[in-house]
């Protein structure tokens, strides 16, 4: 089988940061207004509660003022003309350019672009094709959505396309505009997500630049199991659900049953990645690092401990969600991007994402 390399990664970090303290101040002001207006007794939040529950201390967003306005509690993105670049394409391009620079490639080398993320800002035309247009790449492009596993599922698609020879170089990009589907009025979830874009370049060995900081893909492994415990009902039929003549379209936000997700996903993921490693005739002690989906620090720690069957060091499962929060499918790619430079030739690592679906995707890599 032909060897497939990951030769470059890139991350775009949005311009605005919101600390837990900033978020809680706005949220508590909203709660006070709500309680006064309705007579309810909804509970305040605190920065300490958020960090203890999730490990999150801050998050980056594409728009800050609307989120922190207690009279709005959601981002404000002025409508753009169809002739203007979309927000997700705008986010994607800097991450792509960093990944291209790392792989020593240019846009003309890209055969295929896969835009993979949890929430696409429109049904069509594909955001991937728009990115292709502004990047100046040829070939073709398409979108993929498998929620928080979108990046690893797209890497799997690219991996098999490269193996068949239908392409030589494929770009996978993940413009995660997560703040747009987060209910900032909900105490249990208003702190979870942040915005970001990540990108990776995947290539057949024979076309890869020998100066690139490359990892060989040894294999990918995917698993899905239907669950309603993480859900977002936003979709094209929303306007048809209202029985009145004038549709009253409601906001459809991310929802989850957090305790159920934790209880069910942790054993599924730890077993999944152990199975992949054993199927490639390795044992967990041979895996230098797990680059895990960044949803919850307690979940990640437990998954890693179950995988290694012991206590872990911080570098064996690095955390980036303290500053980025949950960035959906981009989280594991950010962790890889920031924590792979110390790898030596022959050392192994595993990228793994998991989320709504349920879906789990993992990629076993070896430093070239």
Q: What is the CATH number of the domain that holds 308?
A: 3.40.47.10
Q: Is residue 103 part of a domain?
A: no
DSSP H helical ranges for 55-149: 65-68, 87-103, 127-135
SS3 83: coil
Residue 148 a catalytic site member: yes
- Judged against a pLDDT cut of 80, whether residue 111 lies above it is answered with yes
Q: Could you tell me which residues come within 8 angstroms of residue 120 by beta carbon, excluding any fewer than 6 positions away? A: 88, 127, 143, 145
Q: Up-side HSE of residue 267: CA atoms within 13 Å toward CB?
A: 3
Q: Is residue 242 part of a domain?
A: yes
**321: exposed, middle or buried (Cβ count in 10 Å: 0-12, 13-18, 19+):** buried
Q: Which pLDDT belongs to residue 313?
A: 97
Residue 159 CA, chain-centre distance (Å), reads: 19
- pLDDT interval class at 231 (50, 70, 90): very high
> Of 17, 187, 195, which is closest to residue 119 (Cα–Cα)?
195
SS3 38: helix
Q: Is residue 123 part of a domain?
A: no
Q: Is residue 247 part of a domain?
A: yes
**What span, in angstroms and rounded, lies between the C-alpha atoms of 58 and 18?**
6
Query: Average of pLDDT values for 20-29?
Result: 98
**What span, in angstroms and rounded, lies between the C-alpha atoms of 207 and 275?**
31
Q: Is residue 59 part of a domain?
A: no
What are the Cα distances from residue 172, in Å, to 7, 233, 344? 12, 26, 25
For residue 278, the enclosing domain spans: 218-367
- Judged against a pLDDT cut of 90, whether residue 237 lies above it is answered with no
Q: Is residue 283 part of a domain?
A: yes
- Judged against a pLDDT cut of 80, whether residue 149 lies above it is answered with yes
Query: Average of pLDDT values for 187-197?
Result: 97
- pLDDT interval class at 242 (50, 70, 90): confident
Query: Rounded to the nearest 10 degrees, how much is the dihedral formed by the CA atoms of 119, 354, 96, 18?
Result: 70
**What span, in angstroms and rounded, lies between the C-alpha atoms of 11 and 9?**
7
Q: Up-side HSE of residue 55: CA atoms within 13 Å toward CB?
A: 16
Q: Is residue 324 part of a domain?
A: yes
* DSSP β-bridge partners for residue 133: none
CB-based contact 114:147 (threshold 8 Å) = no
**What span, in angstroms and rounded, lies between the C-alpha atoms of 112 and 141?**
5
SS3 349: strand
> Would you state the structure tokens that stand for residue 125, as one six-digit string?
């035309």
Q: Could you tell me which residues come within 8 angstroms of residue 90 by beta carbon, excluding any fewer than 6 positions away? A: none
Q: Is residue 11 part of a domain?
A: no
- pLDDT interval class at 252 (50, 70, 90): confident
How many domains in the chain? 1
> Of 12, 202, 197, which is closest to residue 118 (Cα–Cα)?
197
Which residue in the list 115, 117, 148, 178 is annotated as catalytic? 148
- Judged against a pLDDT cut of 90, whether residue 124 lies above it is answered with yes
> Would you state the structure tokens that stand for residue 27, as one six-digit string?
């949220």
**Tell me: the pLDDT tens digits for 37-72?**
999 999 999 999 999 999 999 999 999 999 999 999
What are the Cα distances from residue 7, in Å, to 98, 188, 207, 285? 11, 39, 11, 25
């Amino acid at each position: 089988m032909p060897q497939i390399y990951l030769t470059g990664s890139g991350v775009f970090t949005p311009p605005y940061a919101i600390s837990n303290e900033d978020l809680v101040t706005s949220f508590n002001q909203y709660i006070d207004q709500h309680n006064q207006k309705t007579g309810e007794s909804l509970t305040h939040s605190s920065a300490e509660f958020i960090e203890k529950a999730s490990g999150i201390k801050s998050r980056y967003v594409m728009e800050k003022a609307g989120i922190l306005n207690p009279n709005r509690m959601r981002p404000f993105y002025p409508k753009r003309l169809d002739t203007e670049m979309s927000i997700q394409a705008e986010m994607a391009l800097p991450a792509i350019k960093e990944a291209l620079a790392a792989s020593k490639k240019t846009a003309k080398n890209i055969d295929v672009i896969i835009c993979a993320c949890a929430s696409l800002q429109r049904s069509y035309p594909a955001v991937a094709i728009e990115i292709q247009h502004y990047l100046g790449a040829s070939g073709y492009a398409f979108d993929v959505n498998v929620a928080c596993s979108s990046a690893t599922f797209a890497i799997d698609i690219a991996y098999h396309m490269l193996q068949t020879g239908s392409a030589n170089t494929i770009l996978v990009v993940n413009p995660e505009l997560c703040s747009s589907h987060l209910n900032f009025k909900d105490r249990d979830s208003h702190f979870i997500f942040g915005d970001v874009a990540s990108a990776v370049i995947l290539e057949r060995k024979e076309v890869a630049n020998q100066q690139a900081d490359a990892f060989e893909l040894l294999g990918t492994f995917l698993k899905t199991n239907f669950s309603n415990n993480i859900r977002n009902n936003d979709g094209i039929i929303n306007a048809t659900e209202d029985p009145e003549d004038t549709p009253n379209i409601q906001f459809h936000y991310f929802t989850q049953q957090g305790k159920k997700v934790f209880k069910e996903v942790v054993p599924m993921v730890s077993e999944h990645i152990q199975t992949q490693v054993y199927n490639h005739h390795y044992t967990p002690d041979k895996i230098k690092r797990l680059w895990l989906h960044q949803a919850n620090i307690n979940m990640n720690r437990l998954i890693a401990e179950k995988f290694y069957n012991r206590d872990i060091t911080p570098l064996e499962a690095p955390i980036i969600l303290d500053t980025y929060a949950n960035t959906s499918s981009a989280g594991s790619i950010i962790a890889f991007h920031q924590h792979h430079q110390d790898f030596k030739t022959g050392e192994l690592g595993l990228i793994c994402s998991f989320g709504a679906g349920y879906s789990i995707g993992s990629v076993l890599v070896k430093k070239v």
